Amino acid sequence: PPQTPVRAAMNTIQQLMIILNSASDIPSDNLLFYFNNCTVNPHESIVKRVENMGIIFKNKFAEAVGQGCAEIGSQRYKIGVRLYYRVMESLLKSEEKRLSVHNFSKLLNNDVFHISLLACALELVMATYASRNASQNVNVETDLSFPWIINILDLKAFELYMIVESFIKAEPSLTREMIKHLECCEHKIMESLAWQSNSPLFELIKQSKDREGQADEPEPANY
């Protein structure tokens, strides 16, 4: 039978639970294998970052929704972290296959990579639960919809944009609704958020122009 919005939202949550049922709150053995293969082992910094981001997330969630919902925020964060570790492992496996590389020291010690991956996982969890509440007309959440998550984690919109496609590729079990939501976030970023004055996008554009040697040509008037 055709899905009602409630059914669709519930299916998405169920799917998220199925995906994460077997996922772990801490790095898996496979992940530890990759960590140990790094020139600089990132294990400690990754776990510490998850802890620190957790404190920020829970405080901001409680601030936004109410102290009575602090435990809900805690649960959301926990689910997000499971998805973060699961997708990280899948990303590394595919990079290992693609590049025939086993030492991911630079990537795994890159702060922005981890925060954008965690933010993407948390955004998906937040959207999944928010859509359920919206379809049941339950107004529990104040506006925690995107870009709330990148604002509280102090992440640039374009930095999140860089991870979305790889995230979707790395997690084949995402539902249509989840993928649609991430695509919607991408559109919001490219339509406006990525063009804010402090966006790293401008530097990337400048670098690519420099690389193409266009810098020394006079810019055509229509620029």
**Which residues sit at the interface with other proteins, rule CB under 8 A?**
91, 94-95, 98-99, 101, 104, 106-107, 110, 112-113, 162-163, 165-166, 168-169, 172, 174, 176, 179-180, 183
Instruction: Rank residues 62 and 168 by Cβ distance to other proteins and give the closer one.
Output: 168
Min dist. Cβ of residue 82 to other proteins (A): 20
Min dist. Cβ of residue 39 to other proteins (A): 12
d(CA 6, CA 20): 21
Instruction: Rank residues 142 and 207 by Cβ distance to other proteins and give the closer one.
Output: 207
Min dist. Cβ of residue 68 to other proteins (A): 37
Min dist. Cβ of residue 75 to other proteins (A): 28
Residue in 141, 99, 121 with CA at minimum distance from that of residue 182: 121
Task: Compute and round to an integer the Cα radius of gyration of the chain.
Answer: 19
- Sequence-ordered list of residues with C-beta below 8 angstroms from that of 115, at least 6 positions apart, any chain: 49, 53, 153, 155, 159
Helix axes 29-36, 70-99, angle to 10 degrees: 60
Instruction: Rank residues 99 and 221 by Cβ distance to other proteins and give the closer one.
Output: 99
- Sequence-ordered list of residues with C-beta below 8 angstroms from that of 164, at least 6 positions apart, any chain: 120, 182, 183, 185, 186
Instruction: Rank residues 38 and 70 by Cβ distance to other proteins and give the closer one.
Output: 38
